[in-house]
């Protein structure tokens, strides 16, 4: 009897512990993951929304000719990209500011070199150099993280997500204008980041149990708060962008806004899952030309 009284609580504790262990396994759901292939290309959208035909040729896009809400989403908002939107907007001001800051920081050429420019040439950095694995930092980084890192080496604080950081990013990206995005996610660190980013994009989180894909894969063509949801293919070539609510936004800042809209606590700008999602979205933009400064509603 005495033994039993000892065993019973012990058994109860064991059950409780086992229960706790199980409770520690996070409760997670994902939306169905479509087949992206090992090395995606922007034209794969033909198998997804099929809107690619409407925005692949930007020469045919002109803001004045896009009138209806349907045309807004089927053109993937590309009519607001350079050079076809000839209206001066905050993105052009940011480019000027970026040029100024870049010149100050790069007086001895080491800022450009730190960003990965060969002999000071910024061509292609935005289109085919980032995101990439950085040995010194031991992680996959994007252009804005490197701007912050390289500026700090000069004693300047240019936080990723800040106006001045985005301004330099836009300025650097102008040297890739017209060049197709080209990142290789078929091997190494970028493949791992791509796979993680793909998972994360489809993971449902937060009080509404929504993931990026709940909106961007399941709902293109539907309207949320007046914005027509578009395909997630070709979404990475125009960043940072000028939002017409008068804000210069880096890609990660857009992620925080989308997280909030979907009922999920945003992560920090530059957080690893955001970098992973950026790798994933960049891969889905492979082959689509860089266009900055762009604007978006």
Contact 55, 76 (CB under 8 A): yes
Q: Which stretch binds ligand HEC (CB under 6 A): 7-15, 57-65, 173-181, 252-260?
A: 252-260
Residues 254-283 that bind ligand HEC (CB under 6 A): 254-255, 258-259, 261-262, 277
Convert residues 200-219 into a mask of x (bound to ligand HEC by CB under 6 A) and - (unbound): ----------x-x-xxx---
Tell me how far, at minimum, the Cβ of 173 lies from ligand HEC, in Å: 14
Spatial distance between the Cα atoms of 279 and 288, rounded to a whole number of angstroms: 15
293: alpha, beta or left? (left if phi > 0; alpha if psi -120 to 50) = beta
- Residue 162-201 contact track with ligand HEC, rule CB under 6 A, x = bound: ----------------------------------------
Length of the chain measured in residues: 297
Q: Scanning residues 56 to 95, which ones bind ligand HEC (CB under 6 A)?
A: 77
* Smaller CB separation from ligand HEC, 56 or 111: 56
Q: Is 292 in the site for ligand HEC (CB under 6 A)?
A: no
CA 41 to CA 269: how far, in whole Å?
26
Instruction: Give CA–CA dist 91/170, Å, rounded.
Output: 8
| Alpha-carbon gap, residue 126 to 107, rounded angstroms | 21
Nearer Cβ to ligand HEC (122/251): 251
| Binding positions for ligand HEC, 108-147, rule CB under 6 A | none
Please identify which residue in 147, 235, 240, 275 interacts with ligand HEC, judged by CB under 6 A.
235
- Token pair of 141, please? 């980084």
| Dihedral (Cα; 189, 193, 194, 199), 10-degree rounding | 150
| R_g of the chain, CA atoms, integer Å | 22
Locate 243 and state its tokens.
Answer: 């939002």
Footprint on this chain of ligand HEC (rule: CB under 6 A): 77, 210, 212, 214-216, 224, 227, 229-230, 235, 241, 254-255, 258-259, 261-262, 277, 296
């Amino acid at each position: 009897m005495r033994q039993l009284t000892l065993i019973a609580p012990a058994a109860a504790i064991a059950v409780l512990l086992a229960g706790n262990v199980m409770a520690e396994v996070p409760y997670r759901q994902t939306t169905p993951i479509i087949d992206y292939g090992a090395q995606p290309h922007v034209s794969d959208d033909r198998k997804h929304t099929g809107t690619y035909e409407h925005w692949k040729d930007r020469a045919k896009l002109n803001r004045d000719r896009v009138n209806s809400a349907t045309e807004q989403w089927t053109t993937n908002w590309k009519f607001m990209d350079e050079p076809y939107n000839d209206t001066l907007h905050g993105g052009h001001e940011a480019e000027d500011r970026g040029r100024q800051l870049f010149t100050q920081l790069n007086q001895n050429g080491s800022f450009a070199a730190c960003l990965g420019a060969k002999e000071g040439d910024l061509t292609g950095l935005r289109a085919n150099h980032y995101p990439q694995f950085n040995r010194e930092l031991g992680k996959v980084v994007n252009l804005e993280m490197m701007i912050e890192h390289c500026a700090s080496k000069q004693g300047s604080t240019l936080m990723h997500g800040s106006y001045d950081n985005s301004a330099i990013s836009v300025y650097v990206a102008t040297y890739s204008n017209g060049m197709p995005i080209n990142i290789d996610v078929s091997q190494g660190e970028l493949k791992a980041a791509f796979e993680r980013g793909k998972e994360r994009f489809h993971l449902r989180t937060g009080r509404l149990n929504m993931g990026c894909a709940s909106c961007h894969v399941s709902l293109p063509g539907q309207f949320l708060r007046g914005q027509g949801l578009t395909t997630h293919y070709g979404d990475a070539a125009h960043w940072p962008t000028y939002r017409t609510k008068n804000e210069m936004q880096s890609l990660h800042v857009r992620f925080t806004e989308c997280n909030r809209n979907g009922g999920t606590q945003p992560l920090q700008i530059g957080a690893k899952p955001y970098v992973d999602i950026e790798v994933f979205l960049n891969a889905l933009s492979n082959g689509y030309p860089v266009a900055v400064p762009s604007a978006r509603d």
